[in-house]
Chains A and B, each alone.
Chain A
Amino acid sequence: MKKLIAVAAIAVALFSTAANAQAIRIGTEGAYEPWNYVNADGNLAGLDIDVMNELCKRTGLECTFVQTAWDTIIPNLNAGNYDVIAAGMSITDERKEAINFTADYSPPEASGFMMLESATVDPANLTGVKIGTQTGTIQDAYATENFATGNTLLTFDTASNALADLMAGNIDVILADSSYIDEAVANSGGALKTSDVTVAIGGGVGAGLRKADTELLAKLDEALAAAKADGTIDALIAKHFPTRKGPFYVN
């Protein structure tokens, strides 16, 4: 047993950098514009990235980003693959059972519907249609609860794969965050449309932390409150979401 422990200790020393209290890892998906994505230069960008960089600057933490798949993003946080989730994740009671959230850095927003321009789907009265959502999102849960009877529900591992299937006619409508839909519709060259029908789900977007990391949570929350009060967060929201009317956090 002693020998095994020694071997394991050497393995850990070799493979991981020494635990530095000032260094944290941030998990993000990198495939959900304009929240988090890889830009043309090959770097992570988006509101989640900018907000976290701002908070890291204010707290003096040394932050590195880890790209990870969305559907396992919470289990991988709890398994210790990274210390913070910043991935456009809405604060919900269900998720709060597994992880803690900071205060919101983006206020609650409605979810909308996206269809092909030629589609005759009526989002106010969905029957007999194929509805696409991203796996494990609040829209996924909402659709399962409200649209399961009489419709076909399909889930996708990334938002862009759902979009590809919508373009190919494999699904009729996508339910997603309005901010994501507005961005996609505006740049689709008339191929896509949305509707005025929206549904209110979720309670704002925050960063997720392990239940045990209360000290880090307090630190981030303090910096976030300051960044909200001086208008930094509002400016970042305006930068990434031209269509959302602020200010949200400065009185």
Chain B
Amino acid sequence: MTETFEFWVSYLTNGRHLNWYASFQYTVIAALLGGAFALLFGIGGAALRNSSLPPLKLLGTIYINMVRGVPDVLFFIFFPLAFEQLVELVIAQSACPAGGGAGVWPPCPEANWFLGTGEYLLLASVSLGIVYGAFTANVISGALNSVPRGQLEAARAFGMTNWQVLSRVHIRQMWVYALPGLSNCWLLLIKATSLLSLLQITDIVRGANLLGAPNFSRTAGVIHGDWRWGYYLALLLFYILVTYLSEKAFAAITRWASRGMPMAERV
């Protein structure tokens, strides 16, 4: 590697690399959107599981136990495909002539739903949300049960309504117990964003693979051998940076959540 500094600057800022840098947005969007969905599904799942109505409780328990056991890769390819075909099936009911197109999918061209990067990104985020929502639900449900009973009884003794107890005392104190578990879920979710290339998205992992693989074609740019290690190293550093920033953010949130809670601040 005796190339000059100028060579590296121009190589690392050519169009192929700019495309790759731009693709980092997919990872960030999938993580943030997936995280938001996971929190939503998590709160929903925990609410179902702690519900006093047996059917809802069963539903919450099934969601939490079943989805946690399915490999995220499998769910990641299953959910978007199943959802796409379900939508196409529904459109086909009205758009397609009856009985046409045996053995082909979609049954007729009118029923085809085209999925581009944007749609796949949304479906990927929902998939991440469903999978990690199950873990989040378990964490939140555990945290709700960890709030000392005495706190809730004291709140009731002050004459608070059930809703006031829930919102002002129960959920307010729950965060301190949930945050360590939530931070685990978040980091697992970030790692799972490396699966985006399974959904036809040219994400950072696929991009690194394409850029780093040996190139012996004059027209495709700089001729080089196997440089994949360099690109994988860059991804490694990116994920470490994201982890570091996440830890900082969770530390700040924990400080915020435990204000006025001397018991929690000690831990």
Q: Which interface class (under 10, 10 to 19, 20 to 34, 35 or more) fits A?
A: 35 or more
Are A31 and B210 within 8 A (Cβ)? yes
Q: Which interface class (under 10, 10 to 19, 20 to 34, 35 or more) fits B?
A: 35 or more
Are A80 and B112 within 8 A (Cβ)? yes
Q: Does A42 contact B (CB under 8 A)?
A: yes
Are A188 and B213 within 8 A (Cβ)? no
Which of B14, B17, B213, B214: most chain A Cβ within 10 A? B214
Are B210 and A38 within 8 A (Cβ)? yes
With A12-B87, A80-B114, A81-B114 already in contact, the answer to whether A67 and B219 are too (CB < 8 A) is no
0 or 1 for each of A30-46: is its CB under 8 Å from B? (1 = yes): 11011001111111011
Segment at the interface with A among B43-51, B54-62, B103-111, B241-249: B103-111
Please give, as numbers and ranges, the residues of chain B lying within 8 Å of A9 by CB-CB distance. 91
Chain B residues 186 to 212 lying within 8 A of chain A, measured CB to CB, are: 200, 202, 209-210
With A40-B15, A40-B16, A168-B226 already in contact, the answer to whether A12 and B217 are too (CB < 8 A) is no
A23, chain B: closest CB distance, angstroms: 11
With A5-B93, A40-B16, A81-B200 already in contact, the answer to whether A45 and B219 are too (CB < 8 A) is yes
Q: Which single residue of chain B is at the shortest CB-CB distance from A37?
A: B220
Are B113 and A167 within 8 A (Cβ)? no
Are B216 and A34 within 8 A (Cβ)? no
Please give, as numbers and ranges, the residues of chain A lying within 8 Å of B115 by CB-CB distance. 15, 81
Please give, as numbers and ranges, the residues of chain A lying within 8 Å of B14 by CB-CB distance. 40-42
With A41-B14, A68-B200 already in contact, the answer to whether A164 and B217 are too (CB < 8 A) is no
0 or 1 for each of A1-18: is its CB under 8 Å from B? (1 = yes): 100110011011001100
Q: Which single residue of chain A is at the shortest CB-CB distance from B212?
A: A164
Are A184 and B216 within 8 A (Cβ)? yes
The 9 A-B pairs with the shortest beta carbon distances in the complex, nearest first, are: A42-B15, A40-B221, A160-B213, A33-B217, A80-B112, A41-B15, A184-B216, A187-B216, A42-B19
Give 9 A-B contacts (CB < 8 Å), ordered by A residue.
A15-B115, A31-B210, A79-B112, A80-B109, A81-B114, A158-B209, A160-B213, A187-B216, A187-B217
Beyond the given A42-B18, A78-B105, A212-B104, please list 19 additional residue pairs across the A-B interface where CB-CB is below 8 A: A5-B91, A8-B87, A15-B114, A38-B210, A39-B221, A41-B15, A42-B16, A46-B219, A67-B202, A69-B200, A158-B213, A161-B209, A161-B213, A164-B226, A184-B216, A187-B216, A187-B218, A212-B109, A240-B219
